Structure 1
Amino acid sequence: MSKWDDLKPRVISALVMVAVGVIVTIVGGIPFDILMLMIAVIGLRELWMMIRKRLGSPVDIMILFAYGFMIIAGCLAFAIIRNLAGPGAVFFLAGIVVVSDIAGYFAGRIFGGPKFWPRVSPKKTWSGTVAGWIGAALFGVIGMVQTGEILFPLVAALLAFAGQMGDIIESAIKRRCGVKDSADLIPGHGGILDRFDAMIGVGFVVAVQILLTQG
């Protein structure tokens, strides 16, 4: 099996999701809120289906509530950002995740090398992880040019790291539950959590920042 075998279905599914996401984000309002609600509900269901047989363990009960909270907070944060800051802010955050994911995907398969956290995510390499940070930082230059904020590349890299941690957390849950994907909903990507785990990680960090700022 070629290491590029999953590229075609991933690209096709990604293009469909991007098209839907762009349209709904531009429209905003209730359609965007409904999209975030759908992602949260489906994500929570996938989490429940993975972990339901392990709920005799206090650790797994804690995981269920903690990652369930992350899903809700992350999706809610994106809804708030769209309503307060407009579609551009959502596209910027999504762009960080997409660029980081693409850079990590290709760098990891081209360069390989030591694993980032083999016990949790066997496929994730240091080369892919660092490439994700660099890609996000370069993408952050766009925000720096538009706003004059010199910290945008650093913020973008930190948010990329938050997205990677979202992916790591989901990978750890899948390994603990003995499943390959959270579901088989999206060809080439698995379930909603498999595709949006990084977005949820970014959204959760943004949610925390919103709470701290409002406080």
Structure 2
Amino acid sequence: MSTQNWSDLKARMGAGAAMVVIGLAGIALGGHIFHLLVALICGTMVWELVGMLRPGVKYLQLQLGILTGLTLFLAIYLPVGLALPLLLAPAMIGFGTMERNRTVYMSFSVMILLAGYGMMQVRDDLGFGWMLWLVLVVVATDVVGYFAGRIIGGPKFWPAVSPKKTWAGTIAGWIGAAFVGILFSINTGAGVQLMGVSIAVSMASQMGDIAESGMKRKMGVKDSSNLIPGHGGLMDRFDGMLGAAMFLLVIGRFIGFPPGLG
């Protein structure tokens, strides 16, 4: 087992610890503070997205990043029917102003906006505990998968796009998410279906990670930005949360989330 497998561990843990503290504080406080935190994160991710797709066009980066943050912050205070046009507006405006990579921008910006809105709704409607469940499922998927992939190794999941991701790490992430689901089902009274939902959310998280990796590979960039020294950008760290939150937003109403309690 090569020491190179662990070369990013120190940076990953340091950045992860800082984000955990900030994230938990925002989730615990909820309300306007959490809304503002999510809007800032999503606005910054769109800023990073435009920087990858249209490098050097600083004014467009700033405009679309600010527009995303503002519209997302406003949308959560409106009835859903009025919020929907706001949530899609930055994607449509960017699609009309980007000279290339328009479809990629539109797809990722919509995912960012809907995921941010979904996280706000989970915190507002379901409370601290279920927002914590969502975060822990994504974190367990990432952390358990990271260690299992490097300790066990084995066949790669998609070496052309994500050379470090293995099948062992991918499956271990599902197991970690299932464990989180079991713990929450025991402590909340939610049904056993929560374990299956947790695994599905874990898979959606991995899909978000893979989608961003594929986009970066296509654009020829290693990281979404250098905002986190030695560790990339916010999109690199929240790509899994994007997939998970958007998936939960879509399927939550169908399954009566939380299962057994809805």
Q: TM-score range by the shorter chain?
A: over 0.9
Q: Given the alignment, which residue of 204, 223, 245 partners 1:162?
A: 204
Task: For 2:99 and 2:159, locate their aligned partners in 1 and report how far apart those are by CA, in whole Å.
Answer: 27
* Partner of residue 209, structure 1: 251
2:48 corresponds to which letter in structure 1?
E
Q: Given the alignment, which residue of 126, 135, 138 partners 2:176?
A: 135
Task: For 1:17 and 1:40, locate their aligned partners in 2 and report how far apart those are by CA, in whole Å.
Answer: 15
Task: For 2:222 and 2:152, locate their aligned partners in 1 and report how far apart those are by CA, in whole Å.
Answer: 24
Matched, 1:67 2:69: no
Q: Given the alignment, which residue of 3, 25, 28 partners 2:27?
A: 25
Listed one character per residue, the Cα deviations across residues 134-158 of structure 1 (whole Å, up to 9, x for unaligned) are 1111111112212241111111111
- Is the CA contact 1:143–1:149 (under 8 Å) kept in the aligned structure 2? no
Task: For 1:124 and 1:187, locate their aligned partners in 2 and report how far apart those are by CA, in whole Å.
Answer: 22
Report the count of equivalent residues.
211
* Partner of residue 216, structure 2: 174
Q: Can you give the 5+ residue segments of structure 1 that lack an aligned partner in the other structure?
A: none
Instruction: Provide the secondary structure at the position in 1 that maps to 2:163.
Output: strand
Task: For 2:53 and 2:170, locate their aligned partners in 1 and report how far apart those are by CA, in whole Å.
Answer: 27
Give matches, 1:98-109, under 5 Å.
Answer: 98-109=139-150
2:4 corresponds to which letter in structure 1?
S
Percent identity for Structure 1 against Structure 2: 41
Give matches, 1:51-66, under 5 Å.
Answer: 51-52=53-54, 57=100, 60-66=101-107
Task: For 1:210 and 1:139, locate their aligned partners in 2 and report how far apart those are by CA, in whole Å.
Answer: 18
Task: For 2:151 and 2:252, locate their aligned partners in 1 and report how far apart those are by CA, in whole Å.
Answer: 38
Task: For 1:202 and 1:132, locate their aligned partners in 2 and report how far apart those are by CA, in whole Å.
Answer: 13
TM-score (norm 1): 0.93
- Is the CA contact 1:7–1:188 (under 8 Å) kept in the aligned structure 2? no
Instruction: Provide the secondary structure at the position in 2 that maps to 1:2.
Output: helix
* Partner of residue 198, structure 1: 240
2:239 corresponds to which letter in structure 1?
D
CA spacing shift, 1:191–1:139, aligned 2, 3 Å = same
- Is the CA contact 1:46–1:191 (under 8 Å) kept in the aligned structure 2? yes
* Partner of residue 118, structure 2: 77
Instruction: Provide the secondary structure at the position in 1 that maps to 2:5.
Output: coil
Task: For 2:99 and 2:32, locate their aligned partners in 1 and report how far apart those are by CA, in whole Å.
Answer: 39
CA spacing shift, 1:43–1:90, aligned 2, 3 Å = same
* Partner of residue 97, structure 1: 138
* Partner of residue 15, structure 2: 13
Listed one character per residue, the Cα deviations across residues 156-191 of structure 1 (whole Å, up to 9, x for unaligned) are 111000000000000011000000000111235310
* Deviation of 1:119 (Å): 1.9
* Deviation of 1:210 (Å): 4.7
Instruction: Provide the secondary structure at the position in 2 that maps to 1:124.
Output: strand
Task: For 1:102 and 1:84, locate their aligned partners in 2 and report how far apart those are by CA, in whole Å.
Answer: 28
- Is the CA contact 1:117–1:124 (under 8 Å) kept in the aligned structure 2? yes
* Deviation of 1:2 (Å): 2.4
Q: Can you give the 5+ residue segments of structure 2 that lack an aligned partner in the other structure?
A: 56-97, 257-262
